[in-house]
Structure 1
Amino acid sequence: MTTPARAPGDVLVHLRRARDHADRHYTEHLDLETLAAIAGLSRFHFQRLFKATYGRTPATYVSERRVERAQDLLRATNLTVTEVCHAVGFSSLGSFSSRFRELVGETPSDFQRRYAEAGAPRIPGCYIFQWGLAERAAPDPASQEKRAGAAGS
């Protein structure tokens, strides 16, 4: 016995479920298998339908979401670029910086510097982590040294 084909509206519900999951869990490792399982579709069918519906692949969607959140953190906090990179779910500073520049048009450091020079109020990073507004990443020795050097200036 074969199952009936899903109506387009029915598939949209499943795609939205996966997209909403990606929006809520963008800091976590999200792969195609996981998102397709949440949608209840095969990964290849899910990838095709997601791209046709939202105009981008699931991986592109997740990385764009991460960069959007990184912009918020770089604009409003005193976190280092490395801390922001890990807080939004990137595991590599190089891939974060490349993707950020590709989407925003400038490096994360330049973006952060521009807002710092404008004198916008900054939220201390300890509050961001305390209230769960960013994922707590393992302390990075380089960023700790940078903070210590900046504090001594």
Structure 2
Amino acid sequence: MCHPSLSHALATAHHLRDLALLRRVRDRIDREYVQPLDVEALARGVNMSAGHLSRQFKLAYGESPYTYLMTRRIERAMALLRRGDLSVTEVCFAVGCSSLGTFSSRFTELVGMPPSVYRDQEAHTTDGMPACVAKQVTRPVRNRQARVAEPQPA
């Protein structure tokens, strides 16, 4: 039988190892968001099962690996759409999404408006703004869904 303090030390070491692996997964998503990533591939990269990775990632970061990946893609899409020189379809594929429908739905959930409306309304709004400030003021909503504005009667 293990001594209680040894058990605690082993559990702590295991937890810290898992956190380091989760950070590697998050960093990989940040770097490779354009690549076709799925939870199984991410889990294989850190020798975890997909289920364990998903559960632990959500505990550590408050969202699933897939949600985190889509948020990264939407953040990049917002920047590309603000530039105004690419179509929504071009932006969809440029950020690694393979389905325009899924991209548009997720964009609308996170940002509160469809990508085409965002492109028209937000083009060039961050011109002249330092990149670090633009990133903060344009960051999509995390861990909750944006409310889509209800049309107001005229």
The whole-number CA distance in structure 2 between the counterparts of 1:61 and 1:81 is 21
Where do 5+ consecutive residues of structure 1 fail to align? 122-153
The whole-number CA distance in structure 2 between the counterparts of 1:12 and 1:46 is 10
Contact 1:29–1:89 under 8 Å retained in 2: yes
Residue in structure 1 matched with residue 146 of structure 2 by the alignment: none
- The answer as to 2:41 corresponding to 1:34 is yes
Residue in structure 2 matched with residue 136 of structure 1 by the alignment: none
The whole-number CA distance in structure 2 between the counterparts of 1:103 and 1:31 is 20
The whole-number CA distance in structure 2 between the counterparts of 1:14 and 1:79 is 36
* Paired-residue identity, %: 49
From 107, 114, 124, the equivalent of 1:107 is 114
Q: For residues 74 and 13 of structure 1, do their structure 2 counterparts lie closer, same or farther at Cα, with a shift above 3 Å needed?
A: same
Give the superposition deviation at 1:93: 1.0
Of 100-109 and 71-80, the range deviating more from structure 2: 71-80
Question: What TM-score do you get using the length of structure 1 for normalisation?
Answer: 0.71
Q: For residues 113 and 36 of structure 1, do their structure 2 counterparts lie closer, same or farther at Cα, with a shift above 3 Å needed?
A: same
What's the RMSD between the two structures over aligned residues?
2.0
Give the superposition deviation at 1:89: 0.8
From 39, 44, 64, the equivalent of 2:51 is 44
Where do 5+ consecutive residues of structure 2 fail to align? 1-9, 129-154
From 18, 23, 45, the equivalent of 1:16 is 23
Q: How does 1:1-153 map to 2 (within 5 A)?
A: 6-116=13-123, 120=127
What is the one-letter code of the residue matched to 1:12? L
What is the one-letter code of the residue matched to 1:71? M
Number of residue-to-residue matches in the alignment: 118
Of 110-119 and 18-27, the range deviating more from structure 2: 110-119
Question: What TM-score do you get using the length of structure 2 for normalisation?
Answer: 0.70
